[in-house]
Chain A
């Protein structure tokens, strides 16, 4: 994805605290990017940006600066879509740590995502729960 807001610095799981806000990132959802996404997911929605493509940007905005151990998996996901996003639009993605849960056999992160359009109107929000392998996370 063409990320205009790519950051150089990384943060590790150990450094994350609830309330931590990831640096926002901007994405231009151009024809090429959307076509690539539509081909990958075999989608019939070709007149607008599929809402999950916007969501994928929000997830990438976060993972671009978060150095997580290999093997992280997705446990649950929530999304709410508020507004259509036209092809060619630029969106701003914001993410924050809502919860950090440490258990004996696994660690979990609950991350909140928000996406805004050029008019600063919210186009979607979401909440992702991800599970991290403990040994590797501790080794970071």
Chain B
């Protein structure tokens, strides 16, 4: 977890390699068997030209970064808003990054407003968006969190 919550603080990077096996595992786990993800011959005939990872798989990596940064506060008081800019394909290495843009203190709750991005190995943006996390206000850390 982050040692301090303050404006400009970067969130821990999460890097994952996408393989067709990863995609197939996610299809099994989620029940999403859309052929664009798992059927290579079907996907090859679409404008995408091949299989792509589930958007929700990439968001799982985003969520992993937020869990690493904010712990259970993310799962009980997180808000995420993202746009998918490009597909992640088998063979890609995706890296999720983010930072705290601002913090806000209201009614004994600290809100951390974050920007986040997920890029592939060519530094192309796959996912872009923002997140807000509600954290309990800790008076003893007020100097670090304000």
Q: Which residues of A contact B (CB under 8 A)?
A: 1, 3, 33, 36-37, 39-45, 48, 50-53, 55-56, 59-60, 63-64, 70-85, 133
A-B contact count (CB 8 A): 128
User: Given A50-B63, A81-B75 in contact, is the A56-B42 Cβ separation under 8 Å?
Assistant: no
Q: Is the CB of B75 within 8 A of A84?
A: yes
In the complex, whether B64 has a CB less than 8 A from a CB of chain A is yes
Q: In the complex, what distance in Å separates the CA atom of A15 from the CA atom of B3? A: 51
Q: Is the CB of B63 within 8 A of A51?
A: yes
A131 to chain B: closest residue by CB: B84
Interface residues of B in 3-32 (CB under 8 A from A): 16, 22, 25-26, 28-32
Q: Which residues of B contact A (CB under 8 A)?
A: 16, 22, 25-26, 28-32, 34-36, 39, 42, 46, 48, 52, 54-57, 59-61, 63-64, 67-68, 72, 74-84, 87
Q: Is the CB of A45 within 8 A of B64?
A: yes
Residues of A within 8 A of B56 (CB): 52, 55-56, 59, 74, 77
Q: Is the interface of A mostly helix, strand, loop or mixed?
A: mixed
